[in-house]
Amino acid sequence: MSWTTGTQTEALAANTAVGTSFNTFTSAQYIGCPTGAGYLPANFFLPNLGVGKTILIKASGTISTTGTPNFTMAVTLNTTQGTYNASGILATTAATAQGSGESSVPWELEVFATCTATGASGAILANGIWKVYPTGTTLIAARCANSTPNTPLTISTESAYYVELAGTFSASSASNAVQVDQVAVLGLN
């Protein structure tokens, strides 16, 4: 490191156990690991120093399908660990068509989230990508962001949050399953 900025990357959280395989659901739900949710304490984005502070969320896992269902991946901020918070969607993909008959194919997610305002009406802007690898030569990729065009999530930076993953299938089937194998939340500055 150059130490030009006097900052360093730090691991805020990393899972210590593979997550559960979730299937048979068509509404958004928590899909993360039982351990390792990134915890951002109240005022993690400090009132006088929080603007510009960035975290990186990286995750990987597997997805299986029958037919060609759509899947939506999301990163959420929740005050309660292990739950889905519809008002705390930090970044989400569009409903993205998956391959037919996938069986535990790998996926990966990378999202940068930067604080653009602090306080009770704080704001966090997020951008990233979700990739699925149905075969060794094909790629399904989807933008994972606040919205298009980008509009930051308005959320109080004075509260504490868990950084968690959520997902939605378009069709319910025991064969439509998603699992998180690894997740890490990194503080970049």
Q: Tell me if 3 is assigned to some domain.
A: no
Question: Which structural domain range is residue 53 located in?
Answer: 10-187
Q: Which two tokens mark 182?
A: 């690894």
How confident is the model over 141-161, as pLDDT tens digits?
999 998 767 899 999 999 999
For residue 33, the model assigns a pLDDT of 83
Q: Tell me if 1 is assigned to some domain.
A: no
Higher confidence at residue 17 or residue 109?
Answer: 109
The answer to whether 72 and 96 have CB atoms below 8 angstroms apart is yes
For residue 1, the model assigns a pLDDT of 46
For residue 2, the model assigns a pLDDT of 54
Query: Which residues are CB-contacts of 160 (< 8 A; sequence separation ≥ 6)?
Result: 39, 40, 41, 42, 44, 79
Nearest residue to 109 (alpha-carbon basis) of 60, 45, 46: 60
Quick one: average pLDDT of 157-185? Answer: 96
Distance between CA 119 and CA 114 in Å, rounded?
14
Domain count along the chain: 1
Query: Which residues are CB-contacts of 176 (< 8 A; sequence separation ≥ 6)?
Result: 23, 24, 64, 65, 66, 69, 71, 169
Higher confidence at residue 130 or residue 5?
Answer: 130
Q: Tell me if 121 is assigned to some domain.
A: yes
